[in-house]
Amino acid sequence: MINTFDVIVVGSGIAGLSFALKVAEAGKKVAIITKKNSAESNTNYAQGGIAAVTSRSDDLEMHIRDTLDAGDGLCEPLAVREILRDGPSSIDELVQRGVAFTQLEDGRVSLGKEGGHSKRRILHVKDVTGKAIEQALLHAVDNCSLIETMEHHFAVDLITAKKISAECLDKSDRILGLYVFNEKTQKVETFAAPAVLLATGGIGQVYEYTTNPSIATGDGIAMAYRAGVEVCNMEFIQFHPTAFYTTQAERFLISEAVRGEGAILRNLEGEAFMVQYDTRQDLAPRDIVARAIDAEMKKSGARHVWLDVRSIPLATLHERFPNIYEYCANQGISLEKDMIPVVPAAHYLCGGVKTQLNAKTDLTGLYACGEVACTGLHGANRLASNSLLEAVVMAKRGAVAVLEDLAKTYHQPQSLPDWIDGDLHDSDERVILTHNRDELKRTLWDYVSIVRTDKRLERARTRIEVLEREINDYYWDSKVDVSLLELRNMIQVSALIVQCALERKESRGLHYTLDHPKKSERIVESSLQAY
């Protein structure tokens, strides 16, 4: 049986939900495919807030300048201007959907400041902004009869005209739907639609230490690449400077907004070290702060540095950062007298599926927005809190484009081939998946993290190639499940990261290599496409 919709959305974060609502409110039948619960997304874990010009002391040109500066020469100026320009109206729409941004006693919106920003412009809901936005959007989705949300459904691969017909010419290729693994039935189902939006989030799980939830395995990027869609700038991985130090793989984020309120980074000797690295000190852009912390740790052999919040009034900590305060308390850290142990952790991908400013990719009918997409806004390094803004702005732009495209042409539902599964292997062979996943994550962390060299990258590539051969053999012979599908995507994405990193013979933004420490005069995007 084929499940037929007007539009299919893969992912249930701020980008996917915002897009689905816009399209459904225009009368289209929408399916939201999400591999976990609807609320499980990177959006849900976003603490800091959403950046937009909403104050009279701020202006668009300042926000543009800060974004371009953080992006280290690789931002697309038109994308920066248009996305940031649309920010305030997108904020208004979130408010209309029920997002209650924190206000001051006089009724004005409370604005935070984060690294790289010259003004206070970060709207927030205390330190749970992403969760508040997610809940408001999910409530709206639940009340929309034209949206069907399918939890615990894993998008396996895109179905394109070229894939199902050897006679299809490249120029006529278009999206027809996708194959989806239903965890409940353990079967792969066929979904048909003339338009598909990828809103699958990031890739943090390819690293041993990350602030991302377990779902961030790069599924959308891998699917798009396998379908011949262009991806770019995959080498630019943002490591958040301040994740709570723990031996656990998933590390709790200590929002940059804490430093915006006056917190200071100190080495194990108690010295405030950021003054040695940048004039903006603790509020320098994330790439600079992460490298500074990495340098201090290597210099002393320490496993972490300290974040000193003791100068921030206790009332501010309780009011502005209740979630962080509670987490630290549960870890035995009293913020009024103790410092927080912090380390960098993989946080955000600035590259991804190449899109236009209407969320279109180079495959007809396929759209992308949110962290999975590369619009040109972030360049070589994302300015803090621009990500939620980009997601909601591009979701709106993408919805407009989809509705226009659907209105132009009537799409006759097609008969799509059923999924053909492999043979079931003995259960004891599943240990291969766990072993290879752990090895992949250690490889990326050891060789493709904050500071890189050509030799480290080549080592990573060699090992990833072996893992890729092993998992492809396993994939074609076995019945699929979530662990297999995720690992396949993680290996694909890791290969793309390493390939882009090897091609960039310079240090720029988040890509810093000891072999090529200077910036090239020639500014280019890295670009990859499977044919």
- By the 10 Å C-beta count (0-12 exposed, 13-18 middle, 19+ buried), 307 is classed as buried
Q: Are residues 285 and 152 in the same domain?
A: no
In a domain, 422, yes or no: no
Q: Are residues 77 and 222 in the same domain?
A: yes
pLDDT tier at 40 (50, 70, 90 boundaries)?
low
In a domain, 247, yes or no: yes
pLDDT tier at 249 (50, 70, 90 boundaries)?
low
In a domain, 527, yes or no: no
How large is the average pLDDT for residues 183-188?
A: 94
Cβ contact 66:117 at 8 Å: yes
In a domain, 86, yes or no: yes
Q: Are residues 228 and 255 in the same domain?
A: no
Reply yes or no on whether the pLDDT at 47 is more than 90: no
Q: Are residues 354 and 484 in the same domain?
A: no
pLDDT tier at 260 (50, 70, 90 boundaries)?
confident
Percent of the chain residues past pLDDT 70, beyond the cut: 94
Cβ contact 320:256 at 8 Å: no
Which residues constitute the domain of residue 148?
2-235+350-408
Q: Are residues 136 and 12 in the same domain?
A: yes
How large is the average pLDDT for residues 36-45?
A: 61
In a domain, 528, yes or no: no
The alpha carbon of 72 is separated from its chain's Cα centroid by a whole number of angstroms, namely 19
Q: Are residues 105 and 130 in the same domain?
A: yes
Question: Which of the listed residues 344, 364, 397 is the one where a domain comes to its end?
Answer: 344
Tell me the backbone φ, ψ of residue 189, rounded to 5 degrees.
Answer: -105, 155
> Which of 131, 133, 50 is closest to 388 using CA atoms?
50
Q: Are residues 450 and 436 in the same domain?
A: yes
Q: Are residues 170 and 56 in the same domain?
A: yes
Q: Are residues 252 and 231 in the same domain?
A: no
Question: Which of the listed residues 344, 363, 384 is the one where a domain comes to its end?
Answer: 344
Question: Which of the listed residues 344, 367, 386 is the one where a domain comes to its end?
Answer: 344
Residue 229 and residue 359: Cα distance in Å, rounded?
A: 13
Q: What is the reported pLDDT for 282? A: 94
> Which of 395, 412, 454 is closest to 192 using CA atoms?
412
Q: What is the reported pLDDT for 455? A: 97
Indicate the average pLDDT of the chain. 92
Model-level pTM greater than 0.85? yes
Token pair for residue 437?
A: 């996943």
Cβ contact 31:150 at 8 Å: yes
Q: What is the reported pLDDT for 42? A: 53
Q: Are residues 222 and 286 in the same domain?
A: no
Q: Are residues 32 and 125 in the same domain?
A: yes
Helix (H) or strand (E) holding 221: helix 219-226
Q: Are residues 217 and 95 in the same domain?
A: yes
CATH assignment of the domain containing 479: 1.20.58.100
Q: What is the pLDDT of residues 276-302, one digit of tens each?
A: 999 999 999 888 999 999 999 988 989
- Assess whether 286 carries a catalytic annotation: yes
Catalytic residue of the set 81, 251, 286, 488: 286
Q: What is the pLDDT of residues 496-529, one digit of tens each?
A: 999 999 999 999 999 999 999 999 999 999 999 9
**Is residue 192 classed as helix, strand or coil in its secondary structure?**
strand
CATH assignment of the domain containing 120: 3.50.50.60
Q: What is the reported pLDDT for 246? A: 85
The mean-pLDDT minimum among 114-128, 154-168, 316-330, 506-520 falls in 154-168
**Is residue 244 classed as helix, strand or coil in its secondary structure?**
strand
- Number of structural domains, the chain? 3
Percent of the chain as helix, strand, coil, to the nearest 5: 40, 20, 45
Q: What is the reported pLDDT for 46? A: 55
In a domain, 442, yes or no: yes
CATH assignment of the domain containing 312: 3.90.700.10
In a domain, 417, yes or no: no
In a domain, 254, yes or no: yes
